[in-house]
């Protein structure tokens, strides 16, 4: 096991208590955002002797109300310190056969996870599908609603209004929804933020179906954008924080796949109601409520993010969540102590941060600034490539090419 000879060298001539602590934990290498070019926080448990780690765990358990879990927390902390050497742990903290097996299975059979985690995955996938479905309702509705509301002409005024109605969800998302995600997550948690977003993806959609003027439709779609922005900013985080490390990346990346599925489902719904007459466009806009309902109903059946509980100093609740999301208490104990240790490092990085400071750090910290610029470039390129013309106006393009409305919608669905 690690001992004190691994704690690292002291800065020359400075033996203050704070610097001794930083040297022991390797803090300097982890907290300088300007120098941390690989964007990684090293394992904060490295370099701590076994005896000291056990003392830290015991103090942690008593401070956070986790005394009943002390034996497994000790084992979990040792596993977190050396994830590949868990079979070499000896003494009172030696792992039993079941614990060793579950840690092996975590790598060899990474998709053997509790059913409640699969429910979380399904719920997050529904959230992504809502995002896609919301985008396609207007594609079919564009064939009818402009004429109904008297803005179906070829004048610059009418064209501008139709474009404004179509872009309204993204205006609401960019200027309100995305910016609301931080305070929503802070005060309501991940589940609360997603429930909030699900309601804004449900009721405004139904309102769109009953709109009596383009102004009402515009207002409903702006409100829809609030839900879309808050949801897109929260669901991937919720999925990542609830997932075990071996499958975390795969689960987060399913967001885009299920968004594409939602686009396909929305396009199919447009076609399914195409021959319902004058109300077809209302049904096309309103059909997006279908996936929003199970999202709102299922989100509170999922465990809250353990990481969010820990940030709120609700450690017993975090442990309960992890026990539901992991196959064995040893995994839950390892993860809760490791998350706690990482958050201590993050607290040292962030200090007494606030919303404005975090926003400014998008531009003032070199590594974050480069990531911001890269994201900005990708988003601009996505818009410039013209994909949204197809997403919103493909049925209109096909109709103006000379085909019928039904065939135009059918062409949108074909690969």
Judgement on whether residues 98 and 119 belong to the same structural domain of the protein: no
Q: What confidence score (pLDDT) does residue 117 get?
A: 94
Whether residue 348 contacts residue 27, with contact meaning beta carbons closer than 8 Å, is answered with: yes
Residue listed under structure tokens 């070499």: 88
- For 344, phi then psi, to 5°, come to -65, -40
Instruction: Assess if residue 196 is contained within a domain.
Output: yes
Judgement on whether residues 56 and 159 belong to the same structural domain of the protein: no
Judgement on whether residues 103 and 130 belong to the same structural domain of the protein: no
Instruction: Assess if residue 236 is contained within a domain.
Output: yes
Which letter, b or e, does each residue of 288-323 get, where b requires 16 or more Cβ atoms within 10 Å of its Cβ?
Answer: bbbbbebbbebbeebbbbbbbbbbeebbebbbbbbb
Q: What confidence score (pLDDT) does residue 38 get?
A: 54
Tokens of 85: 């050497």
Q: Could you say which of 56, 76, 108 is where a domain stops? A: 108
Q: What confidence score (pLDDT) does residue 400 get?
A: 87
Q: Rounded to two decimals, what is the model's pTM?
A: 0.83
Judgement on whether residues 130 and 84 belong to the same structural domain of the protein: no
Instruction: Assess if residue 329 is contained within a domain.
Output: no
Judgement on whether residues 41 and 131 belong to the same structural domain of the protein: no
CA 330 and chain centroid, separation: 26
Tokens of 344: 């201590």
Q: Could you say which of 303, 318, 333 is where a domain stops? A: 318
Q: What confidence score (pLDDT) does residue 309 get?
A: 96
Judgement on whether residues 25 and 163 belong to the same structural domain of the protein: no
Number of domains making up the chain: 2
Instruction: Assess if residue 364 is contained within a domain.
Output: no
Instruction: Assess if residue 185 is contained within a domain.
Output: yes
Print the domain residue range for 274: 115-318
Q: What confidence score (pLDDT) does residue 206 get?
A: 95
Other Cβ atoms within 10 Å of 180 Cβ, number:
20
Q: Which of 163, 143, 146 is nearest to 403 (CA)?
A: 143
Judgement on whether residues 163 and 264 belong to the same structural domain of the protein: yes
Q: What confidence score (pLDDT) does residue 26 get?
A: 42
Judgement on whether residues 85 and 169 belong to the same structural domain of the protein: no
Kindly list the averaged pLDDT for each block of 10 residues, start to end, along the chain of length 415: 38 38 43 54 84 94 94 93 88 90 90 93 94 88 91 90 92 93 94 96 95 96 95 93 89 87 92 90 93 96 95 95 95 94 80 75 88 91 83 87 88 77
What's the burial of 182, exposed, middle or buried (CB within 10 Å: 0-12/13-18/19+)?
A: middle
Instruction: Assess if residue 415 is contained within a domain.
Output: no
Judgement on whether residues 259 and 313 belong to the same structural domain of the protein: yes
Distance CA 277, CA 170 (A): 29
Instruction: Assess if residue 411 is contained within a domain.
Output: no
Q: What confidence score (pLDDT) does residue 386 get?
A: 82
Judgement on whether residues 267 and 190 belong to the same structural domain of the protein: yes
Q: Could you say which of 271, 293, 318 is where a domain stops? A: 318
Judgement on whether residues 68 and 180 belong to the same structural domain of the protein: no
Q: What confidence score (pLDDT) does residue 92 get?
A: 87
Q: What confidence score (pLDDT) does residue 7 get?
A: 37
Judgement on whether residues 198 and 102 belong to the same structural domain of the protein: no
Whether residue 270 contacts residue 137, with contact meaning beta carbons closer than 8 Å, is answered with: yes
Instruction: Assess if residue 337 is contained within a domain.
Output: no
CATH number of the CATH domain containing 226: 1.20.1250.20
């Amino acid at each position: 096991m690690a001992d004190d000879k691994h704690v690292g060298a002291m800065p020359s001539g400075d033996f203050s208590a704070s610097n001794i602590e930083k040297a022991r934990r390797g803090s300097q290498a982890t907290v300088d955002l300007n120098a941390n070019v690989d964007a990684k926080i090293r394992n904060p448990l490295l370099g701590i002797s076994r005896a000291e780690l056990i003392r830290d765990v015991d103090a942690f358990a008593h401070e956070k109300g986790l005394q009943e879990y002390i034996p497994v927390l000790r084992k979990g902390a040792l596993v977190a310190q050396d994830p590949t050497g868990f079979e070499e742990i000896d003494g009172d903290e030696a792992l039993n056969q079941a614990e060793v097996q579950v840690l092996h299975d975590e790598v060899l059979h990474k998709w053997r996870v509790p059913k409640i985690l699969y429910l979380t995955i399904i719920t997050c996938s529904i959230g992504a599908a809502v995002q896609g479905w919301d985008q396609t309702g207007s594609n079919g509705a564009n064939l009818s609603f402009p004429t109904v509301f008297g803005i179906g002409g070829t004048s610059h005024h009418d064209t501008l209004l139709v474009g404004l109605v179509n872009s309204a969800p993204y205006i609401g998302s960019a200027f309100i929804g995305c910016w609301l995600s931080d305070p929503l997550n802070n005060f309501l948690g991940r589940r609360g933020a997603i429930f909030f977003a699900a309601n804004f993806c449900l009721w405004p959609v139904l309102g769109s179906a009953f709109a009596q003027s383009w102004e009402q439709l515009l207002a409903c779609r702006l409100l829809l954008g609030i839900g879309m922005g808050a949801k897109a900013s929260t669901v991937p985080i919720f999925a990542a924080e609830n997932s075990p490390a071996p499958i975390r990346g795969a689960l987060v990346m399913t967001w885009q796949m299920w968004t594409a599925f939602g686009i396909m489902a929305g396009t199919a719904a447009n076609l399914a109601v195409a021959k319902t007459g004058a109300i077809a466009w209302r049904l096309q806009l309103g059909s997006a409520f279908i996936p929003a309902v199970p999202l709102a109903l299922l989100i509170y059946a999922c465990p809250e993010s353990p990481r969010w509980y820990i940030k709120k100093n609700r450690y017993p609740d975090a442990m309960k969540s992890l026990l539901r999301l992991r196959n064995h208490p040893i995994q839950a104990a390892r993860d809760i102590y490791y998350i706690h240790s990482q958050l201590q490092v993050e607290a040292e990085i962030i200090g007494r941060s606030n919303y404005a400071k975090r926003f400014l750090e998008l531009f003032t910290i070199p590594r974050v600034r480069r990531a911001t610029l890269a994201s900005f470039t990708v988003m601009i390129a996505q818009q410039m490539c013209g994909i949204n013309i197809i997403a919103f106006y493909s049925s209109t393009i096909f109709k103006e090419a000379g085909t019928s409305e039904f065939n135009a919608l059918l062409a949108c669905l074909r690969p």
